[in-house]
Amino acid sequence: MARYFDVHPENPQARIISAVADSIRSGGLIAYPTDSCYALGCRLGNREGIDRIRTIRALDDRHHFTLMCQNFAQMGQFVQIDNNVFRTIKAATPGSYTFILPATREVPRQLLHPKKKTVGVRIPAHTATQALLAELGEPLVSSTLLLPDESEPMTQGWEIKEQLDHVLDAVIDSGECGTEPTTVIDFSDGVSEILRRGAGDPTPFE
């Protein structure tokens, strides 16, 4: 049964954020709000957690997982990014974008695209998520909470608790969050390619 955490949207309670971080460190799988709908998240290197995300979402091995990062310093440990691409991404973050970039050796093979050796990264503009990432001190392995055969991601904490109570360890609810997935930009070849148009304005990358 998943623990349900009611988190203040502007001033996240430190004790609650600490409890969620402890759950993640202990191998937990959580559902949490972002600036572009809910996501599933677990600790980097949590193979069981990643497998549980694949099962919940019915994903194949070509799916790009996302590393939800607190800031650019953290992001730089896990992806290779040249100066031109860095400037372009920095101008658009934090925000509702996911960037596909070549991964460094810090990224577990299980998260990599099998052929391209790339991974998704993003820096969210969501107060509760930022507080959790700061407390955790490392990225969250994440995937949009979009269930098989559904056309739209889940956006309500109470609904997630009801529907996925048996497969999650914790649900964070901090009120309204985004209702549209991120815009996905592939920079794996050094130039931008828009893979999905979503919540983030794609204009700067066209």
Structure confidence by residue, pLDDT tens digits, 123-154: 999 999 999 999 999 999 999 999 998 888 88
Mean pLDDT of 23-49: 95
Whether pLDDT at 60 is above 90 = no
Q: Residue 152: what pLDDT? A: 84
Distance CA 125, CA 68 (A): 11
- Please classify residue 115 by burial: count the beta carbons closer than 10 Å to its beta carbon, then call 0-12 exposed, 13-18 middle and 19+ buried: exposed
Return the closest-CA partner of residue 64 out of 124, 118, 134, 136: 118
* Residue 160: its H or E element: helix 157-164
Q: What are the φ/ψ torsions at residue 186 (nearest 5 degrees)?
A: -95, 115
pLDDT of residue 157: 93
Q: How far apart are CA 186 and CA 184, in angstroms?
A: 7
The confidence score (pLDDT) of residue 32 equals 97
Element (H, E) at 9: none
The answer to whether residue 95 scores a pLDDT higher than 90 is yes
Q: How far is it, in rounded angstroms, from Cα 206 to Cα 61?
A: 28
* Measured distance CA(107)–CA(104) in Å, rounded: 6
CA separation for the pair 42, 21 (Å, rounded): 10
Contact between residue 169 and residue 20 where contact means Cβ atoms under 8 Å apart? no
Short-list 86, 71, 43, CA closest to 190: 86
pLDDT above 70 covers a percentage of the chain that reads 100
Flag whether pLDDT at 178 surpasses 90: no
Fold for 3-205, please state it. DHBP synthase (3.90.870)
Check pLDDT > 90 for residue 112.
no
Q: Where are the domains of the chain?
A: 3-205
* H or E element, residue 141: strand 140-144
Contact indicator for 92, 185 with CB cutoff of 8 Å: no
Question: pTM for this structure?
Answer: 0.94
Confidence of residue 177 (pLDDT cuts 50, 70, 90): confident
